[in-house]
Amino acid sequence: MSKSTSKRTKGAEFRAAIWLARNPEWLLGTSAITASACTLGPTTTGYVLGGATAATGIWYRGHPDSFDTVAAPALRAFSRRWFGTYAGRHWRDLMDVHKLTTEHRRKQYTMYPRVVRVRSYSPSIDTVLVKLAAGQSPRHFEKQTEELAHAMKAERVAVEPLKPGYVALIVQRDEPFTHVIPAPDMPENAEDVDLRAVLLGEDEFGGDWTEPVIGTHTLSAGATGSGKNSLAFAKLRSMAPLIRDGIVRVWICDPKYLEFAAVKAITENRYADDAGECLELIEAWVADMERTQKRMQRAGVRSVEPSREYPVNLLIVDEIGSLVAYRPEYARQITGLLARGTSMGRATGHVLDAYIQEPSKDVLDIRDLFPNRICLRTTSPTHPDMVLGEDARARGAIADQIPAIPETAGIGYRIDARSRAPRRVRAAYTTDENVRELVEFVRDGQTGSIRSIA
């Protein structure tokens, strides 16, 4: 393209046409209403618009789940894009005040970064795709995040460079979790627990946060002190009657020696701390899986429902990095066993629940064998994508921005499997007293017929 030599800028009518081409929703919306008013008449058009509004209201009241995942993000994004901070003059003022503009010296006009798209997957987080003005780089925005957050009355703003010339601003508008969530109640009966949706805490909408225990393997990542243990303890409490009744058998590798010692009693000695013992325990878990495979083969079944005959064998591996990366003498064997277990164990109910601080492939090269992922506070902006998948951070999973203070322990993100939208969640906190209750509940109720492997 030839370089412009004129000192004049484009005419207003051309700028308006370009604006409409970039924002076709306005063109389509106004044309549809005008066409409807001309053909059907203003009264009928009014009724149609009123009917659409009423239908939205009915949807909002009648089916909150689908409304919150489908309609609410679109409506929220639209109103914030066109009537809030990211709209026209508000946005330009924001850019002016924070010196996020550049000057065309020859033509003497100011160039503004342009809002291309706003997404608002959750009420607390917006992601704003911004085309940088000529002469800008993501660093210009990175230097201003604190000031922008104050100006937008947001908790924090993070910048994610996307491709040359574009950044995503991730604006966390508020902190939905200002309180500690108490440990889940332990249901009395095994029938009250759904192993496909085990209660872990709350999501940012104030709803239950549940995760599947069967049919998947779960990897939870988080820096030291991020509250990883609370995930495992909430899970154990929510499944307590199944553990008591021998329908879920818990195996624990506790290489940090202390974290899970309090629940050793509910594992029927399927517990190890030293790395060498962890290797033996994992071997026993894989051998159990192979025995179950043979039993199922003899019985002619390809899948089983959790029962005493075919219990779920949940292997909790705390700080998996310390077993598969930092102890070379055990790493290869443990990695091989876990790879075997995770690739075949789902059908037999042998499921892995692993916890890690540093989720890179160098540390955990079997990361892809975990279909289910949770990301608590991380130390690096690269970690959310490593754990939750490509673009997770750009979509709003700013786990690296969670302040490293005790008040935020248990807060993190998960990705909705269908919409790929990140959801901020907080695990319930299980106190030492709650752990004792769990152990008593399981032990007191056990019938004694559960065989220990030890």
Ligand X SMILES: Nc1ncnc2c1ncn2[C@@H]1O[C@H](COP(=O)(O)OP(=O)(O)OP(=O)(O)O)[C@@H](O)[C@H]1O
Instruction: Give the residue ranges of the annotated binding site.
Output: 222-229
Contact 387, 231 (CB under 8 A): no
Compare residues 260 and 285 and give the one whose CB is closer to ligand X.
260
Shortest CB 427 distance to ligand X, Å = 4
Q: Which residues contact 233 (CB under 8 A, 6 or more apart)?
A: 183, 263, 430, 434, 435, 438
Q: Of residues 163-192, which lie at the interface with ligand X (CB under 6 A)?
A: 180
Q: By C-alpha distance, which of 413, 369, 363 is closest to 392?
A: 413
DSSP 177-204: --SPPBPPPPPSSGGG--TTSEEEEEET
- Give the helix/strand (H/E) hosting 422: strand 422-427
Binding of residue 412 to ligand X (CB under 6 A): no
Please identify, among the stretches 113-121, 218-226, 328-336, 379-387, the one whose residues bind ligand X according to the rule CB under 6 A: 218-226
Q: Please give the DSSP secondary-structure letter assigned to residue 266.
A: G
Measuring CA to CA, how many Å separate 7 from each of 4, 13, 113, 133? 8, 18, 21, 19
Tell which positions 352-391 bind ligand X, by CB under 6 A.
357
Of 64 and 207, which CB lies nearer to ligand X in the complex structure?
Answer: 207
Nearest-approach distance from CB 402 to ligand X, in angstroms: 12
DSSP β-bridge partners for residue 211: 198
Among 227, 241, 306, 311, the residue binding ligand X under the rule CB under 6 A is 227
- The closest alpha carbon to 278, from 234, 227, 331, belongs to 331
Q: Show Cβ contacts of residue 450 under 8 Å, excluding neighbours closer than 6 positions.
A: 246, 249, 268
Decide: 181 and 203 in contact? Cβ < 8 Å.
no
Cβ closer to ligand X: 259 or 288? 259
Residue 20 in tokens: 């409409």
Which amino acids are annotated as binding site for ATP, given as ranges?
222-229
Indicate whether 222 belongs to the interface with ligand X (CB under 6 A). yes
| Under rule CB under 6 A, residue 224 binds ligand X | yes
Q: Please count the residues of this chain forming the interface with ligand X, following the rule CB under 6 A.
A: 16
Distance of closest approach, residue 321 Cβ to ligand X, in angstroms: 10
* Interface with ligand X, residue 228, by CB under 6 A: yes
Whole-number minimum distance, CB 416 to ligand X, in Å? 21
Min separation Cβ 356 and ligand X, Å: 9
Q: Which is it for strands 125-131 and 156-163: parallel, antiparallel or unpaired?
A: unpaired
User: Least distance in Å: CB of 399 to ligand X?
Assistant: 12
The token duo for 130 is 């911004």
Of the two residues 62 and 406, which places its CB atom closer to ligand X in the complex?
Answer: 406
Closest approach of Cβ 443 to ligand X, in Å? 23
Binder among 225, 371, 381, 389 for ligand X (CB under 6 A):
225
Our CA dihedral for 77, 80, 83, 87, rounded to 10 degrees, sits at -100
- Min dist CB 440 to ligand X, Å, is 22
φ and ψ at residue 351, rounded to 5 degrees: -120, 145
Q: What is the DSSP code (8-state) at residue 87?
A: S
Which listed residue (241, 341, 349, 410) binds ligand X by CB under 6 A?
410
Q: Which of 315, 409, 421, 442 binds ligand X (CB under 6 A)?
A: 409
CB of 72 to ligand X, least distance (A): 26
Please tell me whether residue 220 binds ligand X under the rule CB under 6 A.
no
Distance of alpha carbon 275 from alpha carbon 255, whole angstroms: 6
Scanning 2-10, 70-78, 307-315, 406-414 for contacts with ligand X by CB under 6 A, the matching segment is 406-414
In this chain, which residue has its C-beta nearest to ligand X?
410
Of 255 and 422, the one with the shorter C-beta distance to ligand X is 255
Is residue 406 part of the contact set for ligand X (CB under 6 A)? yes
> Of these, 429, 435, 441, 442, which contacts ligand X (CB under 6 A)?
429
Nearest to 424 by CA among 128, 178, 255: 178
Query: Does residue 86 interact with ligand X by CB under 6 A?
Result: no
414 binds ligand X (CB under 6 A): no
Q: Is 263 in the site for ligand X (CB under 6 A)?
A: no
Indicate the angle between helix axes 275-299 and 328-348, nearest 10 degrees.
30
- Which positions lie near ligand X, rule CB under 6 A? 180, 222, 224-230, 259, 357, 406, 409-410, 427, 429
